[in-house]
Structure 1
């Protein structure tokens, strides 16, 4: 609203300050926002822009250590799990990042089995995946040699449930003997074309390796089954023996389902004599007989073995007698598993005699060994004097009712055995029931003992 002019006042005409924009369209300025919702309040801070730049260029220029803790945490949260291991292996120790890497690769991850370390879980399973898919003569060995320096500080255990043989250069012709390829003869096992991955270089590159689980065979071969897919050749044996001898940190060796014969067992055992760290040896489900058992018995006297598993082999009484002779003088072994052999009473009685002097063995498994009453009679004497055995398995034998009564008599004075498996041993229902009552009493006594200050379970 214009103010009223005072009487007598002269109003000066208004002069334009410049050209009228409406008169000249070329002088008009139009401001059009590219983003109608833009405002100064949503401009990202410079620190966030720098973090985004670091993440986007991390593979070419990894920057992490110089950052402030809060910025470092943000970078680790934004880094993609697909970055090359050559960049992240020795630079990133954050467990959250490796947890995301594991979750991307495997739907089920039990980190408790890997020392509660996600980084260890990733590198162990990644290396296992590479080695179990490696085909000699076809796969690039450089993939393994490049990976070993990245894994050596984190891999404690390798569990290879298959090792692939080389691809056969040509398929059998129509004139070939079809049985020859499935015979698994020594000549075919020694063919260089059937040798598996040489584990010597792998083990040498893992200076913290403590456990090695191996199966020389092919998993899920289906209709492509051939006996040659399940051969542990002499070259494989010699290369593995050299690797074991050089790996002074190894505590557990499991070589199962690999057709290990007496001769190959002797080669492997010779490499383990006087091993400074080996505590557990598992050679179950192989072809080891008495000669191989004698070699293992020698190992008992020259090592610190705590657990030995020779289950499901071809051992008979002489092999069991050799083990019993070593067991009588051994002071470290706590678990002995000889199930599914055929040691019979002659071997069972020898082991029972050894247990009358041995004071370290805690668990004994003799299931499926053609044992009968004579062995039960001697074991009943062991039960009355031995104070270290807590678990005994005599299942699938021919103990019989009289043998069951003998064992029951021995258990009368025993206060330590808490597990006694006599299934399918023909001992009779009454003996099974009374033995069960004694076991319950021993278990309750052990439970009460464990509740006392400073005590531990006797069967832990």
Structure 2
């Protein structure tokens, strides 16, 4: 048959062509996605078919369907990026599914308004996310709303006697998060504008009690950070009381609070009974007696590797006590006593440690008043030390020659450590 006699079929749709006819397998996958709520067949598909669904499944399928059905992968990456611009998966164990559920739960908690938000919004989410949430970073916690008329009419006496305004209750939450390992909290309101009130930036005693009970119930918790929440001695002691027998806590950070000596003594007791590896009390109000309590515990503990007491008020007596404790401690690797008014006696005691200690790797005495004699003692000690690889001595009133000599030793120690690793 000649080409002139061939029959031609002209489609009603001029854009139609054979190339646009989808494969039957694709049509089946599209049908599976369309009916995924009624017939969740994802796990019965091949790897390539599952990948297709990960890339094409609509992001509006209810979480009650996808949470258990769709494993970690592109689908959860797409769903995360739809909600948040900045998605750093490295903070979530390189898992997009974990990132999604951790951040989703964080936002629910941060938006929770006591007395207004229904608790079921979070309770319904817990069965879906509990297997994936290992880390929570809560950057604000809202206060209950008081009627404006009542607020304006409150007298000074009523202000002192009115009921405290407690925030989100973690007590019912943490015990259900069976894999939670890290908890970062700040009791504050981030965007208060001109409506600033002191109570917006502190935890109440009720908040402290429920948090203490919640942390005690979370047996998997390893890291607890409680920052910028006006935590004082009473609250610190209550929290520590519930942490004394915690089975897994290894890192505690109470930075930027108002902990003084009574709170520090409680923390010293915790050091003696726990398995803490990192203790950070940066920027509090701990003085000599609190430092002595921590030093006493430090001389007995065999697990603590990092102690940060920077920007407190331990003074030379407190600094000396900490240094002397290291004569019997063989676990501490990092010590920060910066901006603490430590002076010559601290330097001399620390020099005695550096001659014999082979555990310390990093020391920070920034802004200490060590003077010429303290600097000379440290120089002699460091001439016999081969393990310290970081030593901060800025603004310490030491002779420049002594600082230069110590830094040369530190650099040599660091190079030796790197070569041994290679």
Normalised by the shorter chain, which TM-score bucket?
over 0.9
Deviations 1:273-308 (A, max 9, x none): 121101000011111111111111011111100000
Paired with 1:442 and 1:215, the residues of 2 have a C-alpha distance of 39
Q: Tell whether 2:30 aligns with 1:52.
A: yes
Paired with 2:413 and 2:158, the residues of 1 have a C-alpha distance of 57
Aligned to 1:62: 40
Aligned to 1:34: 12
Deviates most, 80-89 or 325-334: 80-89
Aligned to 1:95: 73
Residue 203 of structure 1, CA deviation: 0.5
Are the structure 2 counterparts of residues 160 and 414 from structure 1 closer, same or farther at C-alpha, using a change threshold of 3 Å? same
Contact 2:138 2:185 in 1 (8 A): yes
Q: Tell whether 2:327 aligns with 1:359.
A: no
Match of 1:371 among 332, 339, 342: 342
Residue 171 of structure 1, CA deviation: 4.7
Paired with 1:383 and 1:427, the residues of 2 have a C-alpha distance of 17
Aligned to 1:429: 400
Aligned to 1:13: none
Deviates most, 133-142 or 47-56: 47-56
Matches within 5 A, 1:89-238: 89-171=67-149, 176=154, 191-192=163-164, 194-238=165-209
Are the structure 2 counterparts of residues 175 and 450 from structure 1 closer, same or farther at C-alpha, using a change threshold of 3 Å? same
Residue 83 of structure 1, CA deviation: 2.1
Deviations 1:195-236 (A, max 9, x none): 001001110220000011111111132222111111211111
Residue 369 of structure 1, CA deviation: 0.7
Residue 63 of structure 1, CA deviation: 3.0
Secondary structure in structure 2 of the residue aligned to 1:100: helix
Residue 174 of structure 1, CA deviation: 5.7
Aligned to 1:15: none
Match of 1:381 among 344, 348, 352: 352
Deviations 1:162-193 (A, max 9, x none): 11111122256666568997xxx7x56xx24x
Deviates most, 168-177 or 420-429: 168-177
Greater Rg by CA: 1
Deviations 1:287-343 (A, max 9, x none): 111111111101111110000011111111001001111111110000001111111
Instruction: In structure 1, list runs of 5 or more residues that go unmatched.
Output: 1-30, 452-460
Match of 2:410 among 431, 435, 439: 439
Are the structure 2 counterparts of residues 39 and 350 from structure 1 closer, same or farther at C-alpha, using a change threshold of 3 Å? closer
Residue 32 of structure 1, CA deviation: 7.9
Secondary structure in structure 2 of the residue aligned to 1:212: strand
Contact 2:140 2:190 in 1 (8 A): yes
Paired with 2:238 and 2:127, the residues of 1 have a C-alpha distance of 29
